[in-house]
A and B are shown apart, each in its own frame.
Chain A
Amino acid sequence: MSEQTASNAAFIKIMKQYGGIFLSLIILCVIFSLTSGRFLSVANFTNILQQVAVIAIAAFGMTWVILLGEIDLSIGSIIAVAGMVGAQCFAFGLGFAPALAITVLAGALLGFVNGALTAKLLLPSFIVTVATMGIYRGLVSLPTNGAPAMIDNETWTAIGSDSFLGLPIIIWIVVVLFLINHILLSKTTFGRRAYLTGGNREAAVYSGIKVDRLKISIFMISGVMAAISGVLLSSRLFSAQTNAGMSYELDAIAAAVLGGTSLAGGVGTMVGTLIGALIIGVMNNGMNMMSVPYFYQLIVKGLVILIAVWLDVRSKRAKA
């Protein structure tokens, strides 16, 4: 009996937290199923998940950053850098494992630069990552003078096209990274410290939290997630493109914010971000199926983000 009320309370809590956004996702699905006969199918949903993977993974990293009250605008550029680093590794004759390791490390390094500039030079992360967004994007073109680089490593390209136990590998990667980020955020002291510091940086300092180190670590997580997104994107394209991941940071921010992450810091979950990414994926996919012109899609997406942020701010004000 008491067990049942406890599980009821937990259910109510989950519905309070994610009910609204989950409902939006379902409503979108219903609308698109009615307007397009092909929308509601296993094949299409697998397709959506694959399309959304790159954004979702980048958004996991972005959630950490926004949770801390910061922003990382450079992840689109890091996505492109990652693809190019992988391609260059193969050009130097490295195998899959070392190439992957170097690519992920490159993401960590670029994230470290963002974090160190923000934490140690006390620059606003918005400014720092606007600058590094340009710098990193420029770096992508250095090895090839702006030309795309083909990737012919079969393991690398298999990531984007093969399946494992009936599911595309790309979806497995999203699931695993979701679980890692979710557990790190909700079950560890590291995650707790991120919540506390995002909620009140000053109080965190007085409570002995090493805020600078935390900030740098979190920008590194963001860099690593973006690099993994870059691996997936380049494997699906069989190449590293200099304009890959352009403006993906905006989709990642949108996914996190749709999922309830507060730009003021201190609030947000990986579950919310995953649902937010799915909403963006469903919108893209559904509107494509309805043959909505691209420029209308931009308008609709922008409006959806505005409404989500407005709802977020409004509920904050109601609490205060």
Chain B
Amino acid sequence: MDPSVQNSVLTIRNVTKSFGPVMALRDMNLTVRPGRVHTLLGENGAGKSTLMKILAGVYQPTSGTVELEGQPYAPTSPQDAAARGLTIVFQELSLCNNLTVAENILATREPSSMGFINDKALVRQAAEIVRDLGLPIDVTEKVGNLSIAQRQLVEIAKGLSIDAKIVILDEPTSSLSDNEADILFAIIERLKQRGVAVIYISHRMEEIMRLSDDITVIRDGEYITTRERESVTIDALIALMVGRRMDEIYPPRDVDAPATSIAPVLSVDNLTHSEDFRNISFDVRPGEILGFFGLIGSGRSEVMNALFGMKPATGTIRLDGETVSITSPVDAIAKRIGFVTENRKEEGLVLSHSVEWNISMVALQSYASRLGFMRGRAERAAAVDEVKRLSIKTGSLDTVAGALSGGNQQKIVLAKWLLTHPKVLILDEPTRGVDVGAKFEIYKIIRQLAAQGTAILLVSSELPEVLGLSDRVVVMHEGRLSATLEGDDRNPETIMTFATGFQS
């Protein structure tokens, strides 16, 4: 049967979504056909999630139309979307750990009479759903007692328990083992036979090639192309996905990268954590920017947390040639390691306190007498300097950090670490949720720091960022270091190949 546009179940036409001046999606077009798996492929931040949230009714498009079975489709909430036959399984787990599997699967739809839940019917119905999907899970177990992978399966079961015409799976295998992934693929196969359309989001190339019927590539919020699986190769897809010219927003190096003869400031040998990463070894020289690239779940942030004493790990860490033991952030800071974490609101800032207090937070003792009395003038002077140096836009130093924009908040986090004059500065997703202007300024700051001799570990999910700034790139895949690339090997195709674990 030759599938034509006529039998499409979902048609997206010229959908655009902007957040203020930022265009998250531009003129998106997509045709999803029943009984087929349609994969969306794109780097982190390419606009996949925005598109999914529009379909789920979380966002409304700025312009453009969506049609579901020929009818206009503009859901106003996920409940609304579900009622129209579209179900979405998000990658973040949204289960209640204190409730049982059955209670979670049938949440808000429990069989009941007069408000009393019929427990027997609840367990029976949930067990049916689980058996139907072939999941090896006891529905009376508390979700909190399940492994992360099992929880992911429960999440999927919950999504599929609604009779849906379209199922969206957002990186469903990110925490599944091969075995469990096979169960999922079997489920997807059965959905296809029932005529359900599946929209699939994943970074794993083998999996995509195995499951998909159609593959659409998105880049920078724009539709690039849709291909049938038979007509593409993995290499071609990777090239389509990253194939952008290097933008001019990455400031060039003013100073040459440090010579390879210079001794490393930080050497990490066989760093291993029981679950998250194994045998990670790398070193970084003063003034060098070492990029860390990997897909979600590759263990990059976990390695950085271990370096900063927030995660127990075995292996050797040497600073300036000396073996050191770092078991807490206090140790790391004493050794002049700084850490701009990926979640600035949770781990970086005290949102309810002032810009000044946040800036002086780590180097606090430098602005106090030996007895611990604050030297208010010294503190204020330092804060004034940093605000000027990083051009932080704030009403005053007394403005609470929570009132500033993402870019300015991120600069405050940078400022608080700069005041400690770090030898090694870890930057985990330093430009996440930051507008383009502030991005450029943050890149300039990173360049300046490197020029002054700070060793920088730059973790990023954005490939252009890693390529645009780093001297060498460490690529991680599923908790292992899959390559350290420099020179000509430091190109998007090679990096992506190692990051997806697909090296021939």
Contacts and interface: CB of A to CB of B under 8 A. Distances in A.
B329 A206 contact: yes
Nearest to B331: A208
B346 interface: yes
Given A189-B364, A193-B364, A206 B353 contact: no
A110 B329 CA distance: 29
B333 A208 contact: yes
A206 B348 contact: yes
Nearest to A196: B350
A205 B373 contact: no
Interface in B344-385: 346-353, 357, 361-362, 364-365, 368, 371-374
Contacts of B351: 199-200
Contacts of A202: 346-347
A267 B368 contact: no
Contacts, number: 72
A188 interface: yes
Given A189-B365, A195-B357, A203 B330 contact: no
Nearest to A264: B352
B272 interface: no
A189 B368 contact: yes
B368 to A, nearest CB: 5
Contacts of B374: 187-189, 192
A317 B333 CA distance: 35
Interface in A189-230: 189-190, 192-193, 195-196, 199-200, 202-208, 210
Q: Which of B333, B350, B362, B402 has the most CB of A within 10 A?
A: B350
A206 to B, nearest CB: 5
A206 B339 contact: yes
Nearest to A183: B373
A266 interface: yes
Nearest to B334: A208
Contact of B364 (A187, A192, A210, A267): A192
A243 to B, nearest CB: 39
B261 to A, nearest CB: 34
B324 to A, nearest CB: 15
A200 B357 contact: no
Contacts of B33: none
B347 A203 contact: yes
B349 A188 contact: no
B331 to A, nearest CB: 9
Give chain B's interface secondary structure class: mixed
A128 to B, nearest CB: 22
B329 A207 contact: yes
Given A188-B373, A199-B350, A205 B368 contact: no
Give chain A's interface secondary structure class: helix
A199 B353 contact: yes
A196 B351 CA distance: 10
B272 to A, nearest CB: 23
A210 B362 CA distance: 12
Contacts of B350: 195-196, 199-200, 203-204, 266
A199 B351 CA distance: 8
B353 A208 contact: no
B417 to A, nearest CB: 9
B329 A199 contact: no
A167 to B, nearest CB: 28
Nearest to A213: B330
Nearest to B346: A202
A203 B352 CA distance: 12
Given A188-B373, A189-B365, A196 B357 contact: yes
Contact of A207 (B368, B371, B416): B416
Given A187-B373, A188-B368, A208-B329, A203 B357 contact: no
Contacts of B29: none
A266 B361 CA distance: 14
B310 interface: yes
A125 to B, nearest CB: 20
Interface in B304-348: 308, 310, 329-330, 332-334, 339, 341, 346-348
A208 B346 contact: no
Contacts of A193: 364
Contacts of B349: 200, 203
Contacts of A192: 357, 364, 374
B329 A196 contact: no
Contacts of B346: 200, 202-203
A210 B353 CA distance: 19
A107 to B, nearest CB: 22
B362 A208 contact: yes
Contacts of B365: 189
Nearest to A210: B330
Contacts of A196: 350, 353, 357, 361
A189 B364 CA distance: 7
A199 B368 contact: no
Given A199-B352, A206-B348, A208-B362, A190 B329 contact: no
A208 to B, nearest CB: 4
A203 B329 contact: no
A187 B365 CA distance: 13
A204 B357 CA distance: 12
Interface in A94-118: none
A267 B353 CA distance: 9
Contacts of A208: 329-330, 332-334, 362
Q: Which of A187, A192, A204, A319 has the most CB of B within 10 A?
A: A192
B496 to A, nearest CB: 31
26 contacts: A188-B371, A189-B365, A192-B357, A192-B364, A195-B350, A195-B353, A199-B350, A199-B351, A200-B349, A202-B346, A203-B348, A203-B361, A204-B350, A204-B361, A205-B310, A205-B347, A206-B310, A206-B339, A206-B341, A207-B333, A208-B332, A208-B362, A210-B330, A266-B350, A266-B352, A320-B402
What 3 pairs between A and B have smallest CB-CB spacing? A199-B350, A208-B333, A200-B350
Interface of B: 308, 310, 329-330, 332-334, 339, 341, 346-353, 357, 361-362, 364-365, 368, 371-374, 400, 402, 416
Interface of A: 187-190, 192-193, 195-196, 199-200, 202-208, 210, 266-267, 319-320
Given A195-B350, A205-B310, A208-B330, 18 more contacts: A187-B373, A188-B368, A188-B374, A189-B368, A192-B364, A195-B357, A196-B353, A199-B353, A200-B349, A200-B350, A203-B346, A203-B347, A203-B350, A205-B329, A205-B347, A206-B339, A208-B332, A208-B362
